[in-house]
Amino acid sequence: MATNPPKGDGARKGAVKDRSQAFNPKTDTWTKRDSDTGKFMDGKSDGKPFKGVRKEK
């Protein structure tokens, strides 16, 4: 996972590891996926991509 030092600044330092995201055009949402297992984990309801998670093509 990403680290967040220094504490209290609200900024992520680095990318989230072992995760990727793909856009589902049928539902117009971004879905997060675990790179190790390939299972889908979470979806965004606002239509914006996850921050700090790489995108699949």
Q: What is the pLDDT of residues 28-56, one digit of tens each?
A: 999 999 999 999 999 999 999 998 899 99
Is residue 28, in this structure, part of any structural domain at all?
Answer: yes
Reading the block at residue 55, the tokens are 């995108």
Would residue 27 count as lying in a domain?
Answer: yes
- With a threshold of 0.85, does the pTM exceed it? no
User: Does any domain span residue 36?
Assistant: yes
CA 13 to chain CA centroid, nearest Å: 14
Cβ atoms within 10 Å of 53's Cβ, excluding its own:
18
Asked if residue 13 is part of any domain, the answer here is no
- Looking at the domain assignment, is residue 3 inside a domain? no
The domain tally of the chain equals 1
Residue 41 lies in a domain: yes
Domain presence at residue 23: yes
Query: For residue 1, what pLDDT is reported?
Result: 62
Inside any domain, residue 33: yes
The whole domain housing 25 covers: 19-46
